[in-house]
Amino acid sequence: MLKAYKYRIYPTNEQRLYLAKNFGGVLSFKYSLGYNNKEISDILKITKVDVRKRISRGKEKIEKMLSEDGGFESLDRLINSKKHTTFCIHLGGVI
């Protein structure tokens, strides 16, 4: 079971962003591990609606952090950018 540790996201431009598990866990399953929303909902024992909400809110939080630092306006643009082909989410802490 996931605990309330924070996640570190390291885009290729070396920015460090911290997210609570509600966003980081879902984003990690979705973008790093390639699970679909149904699979994520089964793993985390939450509804598919909650998965979509957490993904949306997590992306908004990352976009806000990136824009405050003069980065990208859109997380989708970051993920799809040829300059930023790697977008990794690393777990900070021990589970």
Q: Which domains does the chain have, with CATH numbers?
A: 7-91 (1.10.10.10)
Q: Is the pLDDT of residue 4 over 60?
A: no
Average pLDDT, the chain: 64
pLDDT at 71: 53
pLDDT at 9: 44
pLDDT tens-digit readout, 34-66: 899 999 999 989 999 999 998 888 888 777 766
C-beta of residue 58 within 8 angstroms of C-beta of residue 43: no
C-beta of residue 78 within 8 angstroms of C-beta of residue 87: yes
Range of weakest confidence among 14-18, 38-42, 68-72: 14-18
pLDDT at 65: 67
